[in-house]
Chains A and B, each alone.
Chain A
């Protein structure tokens, strides 16, 4: 069902509504309207009837008006037919929906209405809420606010095929961004459609709220996801995040999103079992919407600016929530400087995730060593100070740290200590592997990650002692740094 839209609630002046008297809104398609047609006749020639679907219904009344355009129904905010309204002194003074004899008699000031009819019959939905009609009304009322170029999918084209052929998709089908769908999407935000959200790499095209909304429709988002997508687009378009470099590198990482704060729960996002996997609409489509904005607005397409040697499946979209309720630590966004209780996204460069098994360690020291061993392999076990990474700690591992009183900062510090690599082990040629740091480049132990180059999040299902390492890309000023942004309205 489309979101209901409040359209121009004030009745237009001079629309022909009586200043004083009764108005009924009906449609022939509604059995209750047909049932009470004799009642309308009883109300006499002063009654004005608006008919939503057939100006010839009901027959034999003095003043039946054609509202097949639904203008009056929209103006009166009709939800149900029949609706009987009383006007007095030029304004509405009362209304009743459906058929309830008592209510009609009271509103009309007439007794003995519809004798022989049942006391009560519910009405039917107003035609203004019919999906197609609602779309048409929405486009009529708000279509003028849309600035994007309109493309016609021709009569002989299949809509899904046409969107593939025009290059708008990531290889999976997309939802056709009709004006009505885009307008409904835009109702997910209070921001104006024309506002420029970000200048999106690599083409440095200005992405308006409307363009982001169009891509959110393509991705399959619901309107309430839009503020998260907007925040992610902003974060990914920053100089710090360096999406252009991330795309253009042959390394396969791509933007991923961690969502924190009340919005994650409000959207039903998954931070629990299979958080990094499939099956949750918000996780799947928010991540996809960001990728589609980069593709369609930014022009970052594989084989063009996107030069990834292999890439990874998460480039379709990679987004999950942190399990804040289960976490022994403050939310990731809070650790990164966002105010507590605030919804936020953190966008970071991500390869595909890889699990780290440790089903034996009962002490934080032992478990940290396991996780450090897994992290050491990021990019290459012999490369240091090169690539960033994210560690997603699962609940059964998090429990070990929580019981020992290790904070996120403590874990990060312990991991940093464990990930000081001895030059002799990582120099070129060591271990019979040519790859490594140049001889003489390091005189002492070398940190695996730059300061702040390891981000620690908490997510996952309650069972399974498997945390996950998500390799990143070159960190720091020449590469990409994670960026957090508050989610607006």
Chain B
């Protein structure tokens, strides 16, 4: 999140990919850093026990939902 603030501060639009479990944490920290909201793409929790194929599927899903694919 601090990386997001640092990079945006340098004029680089930054997209943050995070597991859905942390949506509340992202919101809270966004507010704590003075933002109304931070553009994040959420992927379904959990992450650590995923197979490589499942991870790739999550990436495909994120690709479709993120504004970056537009």
Contacts and interface: CB of A to CB of B under 8 A. Distances in A.
Chain A directly contacts chain B within the complex, with at least one CB pair under 8 Å: yes
A157 B6 CA distance: 12
Contacts of B31: 154
A154 B9 contact: no
A154 B29 CA distance: 9
B34 to A, nearest CB: 5
A157 B32 CA distance: 7
A15 interface: no
A155 B33 CA distance: 7
B29 A156 contact: yes
Interface string A153-179: 111110000100100000000000000
A155 B32 CA distance: 6
B12 to A, nearest CB: 15
Contacts of A156: 29, 32-33
B10 to A, nearest CB: 12
A165 B9 contact: yes
Interface in B27-49: 29, 31-34
A152 to B, nearest CB: 8
Name, among B9, B31, B32, B34, the residue most crowded by chain A CB atoms within 10 Å (CB to CB): B34
Interface in B10-64: 29, 31-34
A328 B32 CA distance: 60
Nearest to B31: A154
Contacts of B9: 165
Contacts of A152: 34
Contacts of A155: 32
Nearest to A156: B32
A162 B29 CA distance: 15
Interface string A107-143: 0000000000000000000000000000000000000
Nearest to B9: A165
Nearest to A152: B34
Nearest to B30: A154
A35 B34 CA distance: 49
Nearest to A153: B34
Contacts of B33: 154, 156-157
Contacts of A165: 9, 34
A155 B29 CA distance: 9
Contacts of A154: 31-34
Contacts of B29: 156
A238 to B, nearest CB: 37
Contacts of B32: 154-157
Nearest to A164: B9
Interface string A390-428: 000000000000000000000000000000000000000
A156 B9 CA distance: 15
Contacts of A153: 34
Nearest to A157: B34
A152 B35 CA distance: 11
A155 B34 CA distance: 9
A49 B33 CA distance: 45
Given A154-B34, A156-B29, 6 more contacts: A154-B32, A154-B33, A155-B32, A156-B32, A157-B32, A165-B34
14 contacts: A152-B34, A153-B34, A154-B31, A154-B32, A154-B33, A154-B34, A155-B32, A156-B29, A156-B32, A156-B33, A157-B32, A157-B34, A162-B34, A165-B9
Q: What are the nearest 6 A-B pairs in CB distance?
A: A156-B32, A154-B32, A154-B34, A155-B32, A156-B33, A157-B34
